[in-house]
Each structure stands twice: as structure tokens, then as C-alpha cells.
Chains A and B, each alone.
Chain A
């Protein structure tokens, strides 16, 4: 038997907390003013400070894609960026996709093709798909599979997700394999 000390993970007696700063985030076209410390990630800012809980936390380490949002039209993992770093950017989350004309075509296609089960990865999948379409590099079904691989679906709805994207992107399935 022995006695061990677990490693001391943080510096001690740092009781002066990081200063909160006033930051402005543009999300789904709306300007939000927030008082946040630097250590708040964009994901936590959305979920905990703005109650925009449509963006999901599946790992908090960039390893699952559930937190995917669009920043200036590009898909990113919102868990791996600080909210303060996204001042001045246009952020789009799942809550910003449907408009007065109804659901976004991808949302409709996800419902039609049953491209989800538990629904937890779904907002990330949809935002990621929009990002992928914006990027313009997916020409075949194999491209879609590869370029959507940053979004894990533990329920295993991949085939249906690909079907939904294929329909919206009007990709010919003969190009497969």
C-alpha cells in the first residue's frame, strides 16, 4: 500500500476571477449583448447564457460534431472556440434556419427520410450539411459521406442522412461507389 497524491490540476489560490467583458454576438440575425468571462465557449454561451439549446454538447472536445454551427457561413465546432473570439461574426444556429416560409429544405428532408433517431446529433448534422453545401466540394455520395464524417450519429442514421442530403443536393445516386 502506498499513498499517492493526485496531480494538482490547477494553479492554487487564483481567486481573482477572469474579468467579464461586454461582448456582442450576432446570432441568427439578432444582436445579443452579453457579459462573459473569456473562458465561456461559444457553445456554452449559446446553451447556458442565451438558452439557444438547439446546439448540442456531445463531447465538448471537437470529437462528435453535435455542436456544429455556422460562423460567417462556415461550419465549425462551437465547443472549441471562445465566445469572445466570435465578436463581429454572423453566427447561425439550428434555431435560425426555419423562417416565415417554413422549414429549411434540409429540415424537411431530414423528417421525410427519417434521418435521425434520438435527435441529439440532428441540429449539428443539419448545420454541417448546410456548411458542406456552401463549401461546394461534395459532388458524389461518397463525397457526402466523407465530408459529413465530422458528425457522429450514435443511433446510426447515416444512410438516411445521406438520402436526405442527396435529395436536397439533387445528386445522382449512380455516382455511388
Chain B
């Protein structure tokens, strides 16, 4: 009974988005609204010795300048500052004291009657610092690498598994060996919407907060703990989020500053960051990786070593899963994986689309390609040779894994069988052509979540959960699930999200929302259905008086008898019996941990890419790419395809364009604008194709979905780098592959 699930339904929030009616955090107005402008530190390490605010305060219309010197007393303990995505350590506290921990740190907030006044007054503030020597260079500080501290977050991000077999011996005996170093710089999420918070100061000091976040309840928790406010006085709303990619997984400092100012001034306050300030909080950490692979002459892998060293801040140990994938993808009997951190004077890194996955897997998949080339084996064949249906890290079978089918269908669509395996031997005018491929893998996880389903007196279905839609299509797929579960026409179903008043859902990230919230929506609708059925049975002359729950089904906004669908009662009629009140049910869905723990659960992909490289200039263009995904059940092929397309664009970006460059003289990211931090523009993107292979999975969650937010990006960078190798004969192991690396 899936009239909608599995169908390419257009987004239910589409009209709002194309007409400009969808409102984002900085777009809510209040008559008493004040504007805040953040001042950022110029230095990377040291202390503020003086902030001259007098000139700014003299400007008519400037209300206050908040600094560490005049901020109110706040929560004392680190624990209060920990949000749902906080890594082990002491969270950064804005305006806490005079100490400067990183360049770009917020050190003051100017609040004025208009945006322009705040911006102007900020230019009148002078800051004196005592400067200390900073360390921001990962490569110069590799000797300081140490094991990450463990904490609650380690549950979701387990450290590398213990070694298997004897890597050193197996590697030294391997007839085919590959050993290489892979490097990439920091990256910033740069969603199109800049971070902003509008705090509406309500009667009795209650706060309604419009925040850019990937989890309204997470922001609510943070504000409530830090400012010592009861939950009921803090409502956080984020109905529309202009892109997240992980940047909204933690409350960012504009939330803190806006709330602080609103509470102190007892007025509504908006704080929006500038694009430059979008480079002053979490980023994908720069990482250095070493990979060594040993194989037999026929390509059978015997030894894998994968070591990664990543940066973190001096105050928190941000970790990601970088090396574990090597043990999950390939069943080498001798495997040794390690992951270490170097604390630097930078802000704590932050999950960024496919965190760790798109760091580790591309390095591994480039190394595998190097091995295939060295062994003279087709890269797809080599991967098939080393295919596994078990995750060797946990020694558990995959709940489902149609990666083989991704290879087959992807290769066929791409025309892989016509590949010329000789590097630098295919030309088109001035350009060299190369084909490359790679594998992608990401976790298929599910968390607990709650949802409420309400049948209104008008017979409409209203479903809600405090999740987010950062562009992923949550609004749409939840509406589809709800409509199908209760057999409602989709236009009579409204799904709402992004409000801390709604039933609790976890932060939206890691590709788990479809599974997590989708399961909750399904359960809530089923529970509502049961309730409605009971009510229907109690109606006068109910045709269901003797029916069992298994005897009926929901369709066309009616409950119908399975063996005689003509016998039916409309849902509207049922709710009509409820004394003018709606019927509602709030339910919790919890993963079936007992069953799930018996399996490894992952989503897989294979990407095939053609690049064109100008032989003189080294400019690379991805002329076409195919990604085949084994992602379980596809709830909506239209929005699902968009998720993968977007991931592929991110893959192109990571491979060829994107990097945040630190100048270690100043310990500062220098290309802090969208003119100099390059992400793809329309002209960079040519022919992209997406395939979803059939994959049935009854373990991952009741819906059988695996999540698609990350998997689209993961295989692309290596596929591109491998294609560049075939085109040019040059291995570039440092991303992004900018033209200078190919000259």
C-alpha cells in the first residue's frame, strides 16, 4: 500500500521555496528588534588587554557593546555548554574571558537599533592584545600526535579496531605493494545561508528563538543550560535551514550572543554572521594519512595499514571515523589501523558532510587504484576480487550489501568496458582523457525519535517531529510516509518540523533522519490508526464491530475491510464522533538494537568518472560521472536523486576546488570569502547520472531505508583522482587537485 512512498513526488515545500515565502532564521521581524554585529579576534593566540568601546557607544542608536568584561554571569561548568554533538573536552564559551584561543574568535557584540548602525559602530572599536606564539600547522606538529580522548561521542564514532593478523610480515612478503601519503586541507561548510539567530523577547522573558540549526531541541538544550532557563521559556524554531552540511549540528556562537543580548537588554535581537565569519567556527579538519597495501599477484589483498593524523583544537577532541572503513571494505587478513590527533590553535573541527568518510575512503580508494594499476588488474575487477559480505572490523555480516550490483550497473551505464587502461594515452584535442572509479561506504544508522500524528476535525492529518530539513527533503518524505501509513491523500497531510515544542528528534545529520524520524512518523501514524480503528468500532452500527486490526486497512482516507473494501468508514466520520476534538497520538520509535547488533549496516556506492585534463594547463573538468547507490529502499526517487547529485557536486568540489588555507604567520584562514574559497559553479558541472540499485533490508529499520545524505560524496574524490591519473599519468595525493599540481 504505497501510493506515495517510492514515487517521485515533488517537494511539498516547493511552492514556499520558489516564491520566497519560506522564512529562514534571519527573516523574522519583531517591532523592538535590535541588531548585533560580531567582532572577531585578529590574533590566533593570546589575551585581550583592552577593548576600546567608547567611540562605538557614543554613536546614537548603539545600545550596548558586550565583551568578556561586562557579560553577565553564566553557567559555571563545562557540562552546561555541551550540546548533543559536543566532542570530549571543554566547549568554547564566547566572551568567557580575555583569552584568545583562535583567530576569528568572537570577542565582542555591538548591538544597535539598525543593522547598518551596528556594522558602523563595530568599525570604531579598537582592541589591544597580548600576543602569544600560536601553532596552527598540522604538518609541522605531527610529532605531537596522540590518541584522542574518549567520551560519549566515541559511541557513535568508535576508535579503530584492534589489529588483525600480522601486518608487517604480510606486507613485507607481499609481491605487490603500495605505500603512499595522502593529504588534504581544512574545508568549511559554507552553506548559502549565513548563520543567524533572531531572538524574540516575549512577555515575562520567554524567548522565541529563530535559529539556523540542524536540531531545534539541541539549541534549546544549549540555551536553557547555559543561561539557566527552564525549557518552557525557550522555544527554538527552524522551519527552513539554508543548508547545513554539518555546520548546524552544534549551536554556533551567534545563538549564544543573540540570547545574551536579548536577555540583558530585554529586547528582541538578531545576530547574523558575515561570510568571513563563516570561517570562524567548525571545519573539516586537515588530515595526513599513510596507507600501505600488500597483495598477491592476482590482486588479492593480504595486508592493509591505514594511519591518519588529524587536527583538533586545544580545548576539544573532535574525532571522526577515518581509517575504520579500510577494515570494513576489504577483507585483508592482516590489518592495522590507527587514528591520532594533533591539538592546534584553531577552533574545534566539526562534522562536515560525510565526516571522516570522505577523508579516509578517498585515500583508501586511491591506494586501491594504485594497487590495481601496479598489478595490471582492472580496478573494478580488483574490487570484486576483494569483495566481502562481512565487515571484518566487527566480524559481522552486512545486513544487506548490493555493492556488486553498483559496480555492474554503474560500469554498464558508464561504458566502463571500453576503458583504455594505459595512462596518458587518450586525447581529445589539447586534452587528455581519463576514466576512474571508486567505492563509497557510509553507516546506515537509526536513532530513537518521537513524532505526533493528529487527525483534525476536518479530517486532515497533521504530523510533527522536531527534526530539521536542511534541504534533504525531510518534509516531503515524512509526508509520503504519513500519507501511506494512514491511506490519506497527500494533499490532506501536513508534516511540520523544526520546533522544539514538537516531539523530540535528534539532530539531523549522518544520513540518519529518514530512518530515524521516518520510523517515528510511521509508528505515530500506525498508533493513531489503531486508535481510530477502536473509535470506529465503537460507532453506532459499526461495520467493524467484530473486525480485528488485521482485518482492515487504510485507504482513501477510509478504514476498509480487507475482504470487502467497499465496507468502509471515513476517517473524518470517525473524528466527527470525538466531540469536536481532534484525535492524536504521540509515539516513540526505538531501533531494534538486539537485532541490529547482529549485523554491520552500511550504505554503499560506486562512482565512475570521466575527466578531461588540459595537457598544458592542468585544468581538470569532470565531463561525466555515474554514481550507483545501494541505499536500501528509496522513499522518493526525485529527492533521493537530488541528494546524490548534490553529493557528487561536493565530491567534485573536494577533489578539484575546495580548501581553506591557513597562513601560519597569522594562524588565520586567508581565503575567507566565496570569491576565494572555491566551490563549484554551474559551469563546473556537466553530465551527472544516478542509479539506485535494488536493495532490500529488513534489519536497518522498519522502513528499510539507509540514508543518502553522505554517500553521494564519498566515492567521487577518489574516482576523479584516479581518472586524473589515467589521463595524465600523474598521481596527485594532495587534494584538491588544482592546476598547479598537474603542470
Q: Give A residues with C-beta under 8 Å from B.
A: 1-6, 8-10, 12-13, 15, 17, 37, 39-40, 44, 47-48, 51-61, 63-64, 66, 93-95, 97-98, 103, 107, 110-112, 114, 116-123, 126, 142, 144-146, 148-162, 176-177
When distances are taken between beta carbons in the complex, the residues of chain A under 8 Å from B242 are 56, 58, 118-120
CB–CB A17/B241 < 8 A: no
Question: Which residues in chain B, 32-90, are within 8 Å of chain A measured between CB atoms?
Answer: 42-43, 46, 49, 55, 58-61
For residue B126, CB closer than 8 A to chain A, the reply is: yes
CB–CB A58/B55 < 8 A: no
Q: Shortest Cβ distance from A58 into chain B, in angstroms?
A: 5
Q: In whole angstroms, how far apart are the Cα atoms of A59 and B649 in the complex?
A: 20
B15 contact from A53, A111, A153, Cβ within 8 A: A111
When distances are taken between beta carbons in the complex, the residues of chain B under 8 Å from A111 are 10-11, 14-15, 18
Q: Shortest Cβ distance from B420 into chain A, in angstroms?
A: 20
Q: In whole angstroms, how far apart are the Cα atoms of A176 and B683 in the complex?
A: 12
Known: A15-B58, A119-B17. 20 other contacts (CB 8 A): A4-B43, A4-B129, A48-B115, A54-B20, A58-B194, A64-B275, A93-B20, A103-B15, A107-B15, A116-B471, A117-B473, A118-B243, A119-B18, A119-B471, A148-B682, A149-B681, A150-B681, A152-B192, A159-B685, A159-B688
When distances are taken between beta carbons in the complex, the residues of chain B under 8 Å from A64 are 192, 275, 674
Q: In whole angstroms, how far apart are the Cα atoms of A103 and B18 in the complex?
A: 9
In the complex, which residue of chain B has the Cβ closest to the Cβ of A149?
B681
CB–CB A118/B191 < 8 A: yes
Known contacts A118-B241, A119-B471, A158-B682; A107/B191 CB under 8 A: no
In the complex, which residue of chain B has the Cβ closest to the Cβ of A9?
B123
For residue B395, CB closer than 8 A to chain A, the reply is: no
A10 contact from B16, B123, B132, Cβ within 8 A: B123
Contact with A along B108-124 (1 / 0, CB 8 A): 00000011110010011
CB–CB B645/A160 < 8 A: yes
When distances are taken between beta carbons in the complex, the residues of chain A under 8 Å from B647 are 156
Known contacts A40-B116, A60-B274, A118-B242; A153/B192 CB under 8 A: yes
For residue B715, CB closer than 8 A to chain A, the reply is: no
For residue B388, CB closer than 8 A to chain A, the reply is: no
Q: Which of B290-298, B435-443, B529-537, B635-643 contacts A (4 or more CB under 8 A)?
A: B635-643
When distances are taken between beta carbons in the complex, the residues of chain B under 8 Å from A1 are 46, 130-132
When distances are taken between beta carbons in the complex, the residues of chain A under 8 Å from B129 are 3-4, 6
When distances are taken between beta carbons in the complex, the residues of chain B under 8 Å from A10 are 120, 123-124
Q: List 16 A-B contacts (CB under 8 A).
A: A5-B126, A13-B55, A17-B61, A54-B20, A56-B192, A59-B673, A64-B192, A94-B20, A111-B18, A114-B10, A114-B11, A123-B18, A145-B683, A152-B674, A156-B648, A160-B645
In the complex, which residue of chain B has the Cβ closest to the Cβ of A66?
B192
B649 contact from A60, A142, A158, Cβ within 8 A: A158
For residue B743, CB closer than 8 A to chain A, the reply is: no
- Number of A-B contacts defined by CB within 8 Å: 223
When distances are taken between beta carbons in the complex, the residues of chain A under 8 Å from B241 are 118
A4 contact from B21, B114, B131, Cβ within 8 A: B131
For residue B547, CB closer than 8 A to chain A, the reply is: no
Q: Shortest Cβ distance from A133 into chain B, in angstroms?
A: 15
When distances are taken between beta carbons in the complex, the residues of chain A under 8 Å from B675 are 61, 63
CB–CB B19/A114 < 8 A: no
Contact with A along B123-163 (1 / 0, CB 8 A): 11011111110000000000000000000000000000000
Q: Shortest Cβ distance from A103 into chain B, in angstroms?
A: 7
Q: In whole angstroms, how far apart are the Cα atoms of A30 and B124 in the complex?
A: 38
Q: Shortest Cβ distance from B51 into chain A, in angstroms?
A: 10
CB–CB B683/A149 < 8 A: yes
For residue B180, CB closer than 8 A to chain A, the reply is: no
For residue B208, CB closer than 8 A to chain A, the reply is: no
Question: Which residues in chain B, 633-677, are within 8 Å of chain A measured between CB atoms?
Answer: 638-639, 641-643, 645-650, 673-675
CB–CB A177/B116 < 8 A: no
Q: In whole angstroms, how far apart are the Cα atoms of A44 and B115 in the complex?
A: 9
When distances are taken between beta carbons in the complex, the residues of chain A under 8 Å from B554 are none
CB–CB B20/A15 < 8 A: no
When distances are taken between beta carbons in the complex, the residues of chain B under 8 Å from A116 are 11, 14, 17-18, 471
CB–CB B13/A119 < 8 A: yes
CB–CB B193/A107 < 8 A: no
For residue B512, CB closer than 8 A to chain A, the reply is: no
CB–CB A156/B645 < 8 A: yes
Known contacts A39-B116, A155-B243; A97/B682 CB under 8 A: no
CB–CB B128/A54 < 8 A: no
Q: Which of B22-30, B199-207, B305-313, B729-737 contacts A (4 or more CB under 8 A)?
A: B22-30
B679 contact from A4, A13, A53, A154, Cβ within 8 A: A154
When distances are taken between beta carbons in the complex, the residues of chain A under 8 Å from B120 are 10, 39
Known contacts A3-B128, A156-B685; A58/B20 CB under 8 A: no
Across the A-B interface, give the 8 residue pairs with the lowest CB-CB distance, nearest first: A54-B20, A156-B649, A120-B242, A118-B471, A117-B471, A10-B123, A119-B17, A156-B646
When distances are taken between beta carbons in the complex, the residues of chain A under 8 Å from B18 are 94, 103, 107, 110-111, 116, 119, 122-123, 126
For residue B374, CB closer than 8 A to chain A, the reply is: no
When distances are taken between beta carbons in the complex, the residues of chain A under 8 Å from B193 are 56, 58, 118, 120
When distances are taken between beta carbons in the complex, the residues of chain B under 8 Å from A151 are 682
In the complex, which residue of chain A has the Cβ closest to the Cβ of B470?
A118
CB–CB B682/A162 < 8 A: yes
CB–CB A15/B60 < 8 A: yes
Q: In whole angstroms, how far apart are the Cα atoms of A117 and B129 in the complex?
A: 43
When distances are taken between beta carbons in the complex, the residues of chain A under 8 Å from B114 are 48
In the complex, which residue of chain B has the Cβ closest to the Cβ of A37?
B116
Q: In whole angstroms, how far apart are the Cα atoms of A9 and B645 in the complex?
A: 43
Q: In whole angstroms, how far apart are the Cα atoms of A161 and B680 in the complex?
A: 14
B646 contact from A51, A66, A117, Cβ within 8 A: A117
CB–CB B645/A157 < 8 A: yes
In the complex, which residue of chain B has the Cβ closest to the Cβ of A38?
B116
When distances are taken between beta carbons in the complex, the residues of chain B under 8 Å from A57 are 26, 194, 272
Q: In whole angstroms, how far apart are the Cα atoms of A151 and B129 in the complex?
A: 39
Q: In whole angstroms, how far apart are the Cα atoms of A37 and B59 in the complex?
A: 15
In the complex, which residue of chain B has the Cβ closest to the Cβ of A55?
B20
B471 contact from A40, A112, A123, A155, Cβ within 8 A: A155
Known contacts A5-B128, A13-B55; A61/B275 CB under 8 A: yes
For residue B456, CB closer than 8 A to chain A, the reply is: no
Q: In whole angstroms, how far apart are the Cα atoms of A12 and B53 in the complex?
A: 11
CB–CB A157/B20 < 8 A: no
Q: In whole angstroms, how far apart are the Cα atoms of A51 and B33 in the complex?
A: 13
CB–CB B275/A12 < 8 A: no
